[in-house]
Chains A and B, each alone.
Chain A
């Protein structure tokens, strides 16, 4: 309790935010202790979407786990698929055909754009601008259409397979992606004029919720959150998986680590993703999309930690195999879970109105926080 509170005889107030709140991005519950408008203590209460995925994973075959992985971070299911197949592939020593690798990367990067678009739209709503949402969803639907033409689903793709991908690209896919990128590039500028440099938006985000470099590392942030603090940490460069080392792309970073920087890093990442997709389309050549893999997948006993750069950050899967058809242990290191933890530190001392700005800028998905 602060001095002023003690002297005046006023009491600290406890405020419950969530689990149903329009801007907690799902079912997050925040317990806030307030001194007037200032937050003195914040405690995120999670688990409202805890579905017991890690336990279920032990009851599902390795292949069926890819379907479960769709539901971790349901905004970027392709990246989850990616993380789910890398482990067993390495354990079984499978060489994935080149074409499949490029297809995977195109899918993952398109998904990064789709995920950041959702961030852009919902963050606008959090700050009080409704229009960006409609812009973002208009573009996102186009990506979903492309996905639908490949795997028939809009959200839960289940497209990757251990050893490749489930279906080859339909004829209209490559021209579709090219047309989309061509259409999308100018849109990014439009977003910038619409929101990024909007004075009201900047007032609410610049300098709010700054995370220093040391804090970012200490709390093991990843993805755009750590990059906004000025650390160029990206698994695609740090520990290149698949064929990412063949591509030429930059890693956008921020300087101050405040909400606006985190927002800008994501906006810039979208155009980098578009660059990667273009390069991958160039390299795409006809060929196999599946390696020769046994029908029943039984990775030899052993363990491995694989990670991918998901739109939210480092998505790691620590899997232990005992040589049977199901994983022995399947731990998912969700980036949202780790990134959310810092909220308790960040909110202290801020005003109540900043909560949504800070929370939105971390960009969490509850499916991945609670698993």
Chain B
């Protein structure tokens, strides 16, 4: 699939009207990606409990096609749900690298956005974006489960703007 997606736009776009095909392919690919976001079931701190509430009965993010996977190799989304400490930073980076592309990162809560209530601690990373590229930030300490659902919708919007075309 990877090779085809890489080469196809080149070939198609060299024909007149080929970009129409490419954009239609974009839509199909993006739609399928956004509708089955599988996050890594992974929690760091307090925010992870609210994340669990999202898995739980009332909020149930399964209905957005979000279905937690226990291993990074099957996941394409990672929630950094909580305080990232310096001891954990390299491990999170490793987890991220083990995930299959395309992969997305949602930073959940003040801690992983900026360090949060521990902004002056000697052992806390001041924002997960020092370690990983982040797609969506959620504010809150902890963010409400609804905010997490919103972040998924926002990420889906973002995914819909992606393209395989080489003419950016």
A touches B in complex, CB < 8 A: yes
- A-B pair number, CB within 8 angstroms: 99
Shortest CB distance A56–B (Å): 6
* Distance in angstroms between the alpha carbons of A104 and B119 in the assembled complex: 30
B123 / chain A contacts, CB cutoff of 8 Å: 50-52
> Complex formed: what's the CA distance from A118 to B57 in Å?
13
Beyond A22-B41, A26-B48, A47-B87, whether A141 also contacts B58 by CB under 8 A is: yes
With A155-B46, A366-B45 known as contacts, the answer to whether A137 contacts B87 (CB < 8 A) is no
Residues of B within 8 A of A51 (CB): 45, 83, 85, 118, 121, 123-124
Interface size of A in residues (CB-CB distance below 8 Å): 36
Stretch of A66-74, A263-271, A351-359 with 4 or more beta carbons under 8 angstroms from chain B: A66-74
Contact of B53 with A74 in the complex, beta carbons under 8 Å: no
B contact residues, range: 35 or more
**B-chain residues with CB within 8 Å of residue A52 when the two chains form the complex:** 118, 121-124
Say if the beta carbon of B88 comes within 8 Å of chain A: yes
B44, A137: Cβ atoms closer than 8 Å: no
A48 interface residue (CB < 8 Å to B): yes
A59 CB–B CB distance under 8 Å = yes
In the assembled complex, the Cα of A118 lies from the Cα of B50 at a distance in Å of: 12
Chain A positions within 8 Å of B, measured between CB atoms, are: 19-20, 22, 26-27, 47-52, 55-56, 59, 67-68, 70-71, 74-75, 118, 121, 133-135, 137-138, 140-141, 144, 154-156, 366-367, 370
Given A26-B48, A144-B53, 7 more A-B residue pairs with CB atoms under 8 Å apart are A20-B72, A27-B91, A133-B55, A137-B58, A141-B56, A155-B50, A367-B46
13 A–B pairs (Cβ distance < 8 Å), ordered by A: A20-B72, A26-B44, A26-B48, A49-B82, A49-B83, A52-B121, A71-B45, A74-B45, A133-B56, A137-B58, A144-B53, A154-B142, A156-B141
Residues of B within 8 A of A (CB): 40-46, 48-50, 52-53, 55-58, 70, 72, 82-83, 85, 87-88, 91, 95, 117-118, 120-124, 141-142, 144
